[in-house]
Amino acid sequence: MKKCSWCGREYPDDVSTCVVDQQSLVSVASPAPEQASGSGKAEIDEPATVQSFLVLFARYVLAMVVSYFVSYAVFFGGLYFLMWAGMVGFVLLLIASGFSGVFVGALCLPQSGRRFGSVVMLVFGLAYYIYFRDKLSENRE
Ligand SMILES: [Zn+2]
């Protein structure tokens, strides 16, 4: 970048005299380091791009899937517990599987989204639990 030695007006490098006063221009260091290293920095500064949105979306889907399978694994892994713990065991098992599911699922999320993601997964988990419970009671009738 160049700058007029008299009026201070700024010009690109390929201009040699000031259009206002015909004074010679002097080169000045570019005041914008983000122009030089811009390509790398811009990607970080634009979280709203389609690509990063897709990555975020994929992580949420992954968190949901992982959460679902982990809670199932814990649930079925602990079913033997029901034989001697009865209804209390069933409730403990639901809590343990729900907690493990949400916890492991949240680990898949970026740190900034974990709190929100945990709440979303809890809501989904509760909704699924209610659906699951209604299905069980339908089968009993
Ligand atoms: Zn000038």
pTM across the whole model: 0.49
Would you tell me how many other CB atoms lie within 10 Å of the CB of residue 71? Answer: 25
> How far does the centroid of ligand 1 lie from the alpha carbon of residue 21, in Å?
5
Dist. CA 24 → ligand 1 center (Å) = 8
pLDDT on residue 30: 64
Q: How far apart are CA 37 and CA 41, in angstroms?
A: 7
Cα 48 to averaged position of ligand 1 atoms, centre (Å): 41
Domain parsing of the chain, residue ranges: 2-29, 49-140
Mean pLDDT, consecutive 10-residue segments, the chain of 141 residues?
90 90 85 50 57 79 84 78 74 80 79 80 82 77 59
Q: Tell me the CA–centroid distance for residue 7 and ligand 1, in Å.
A: 4
User: H/E element holding 122?
Assistant: helix 114-140
CA of 37 from ligand 1 middle (Å) equals: 30
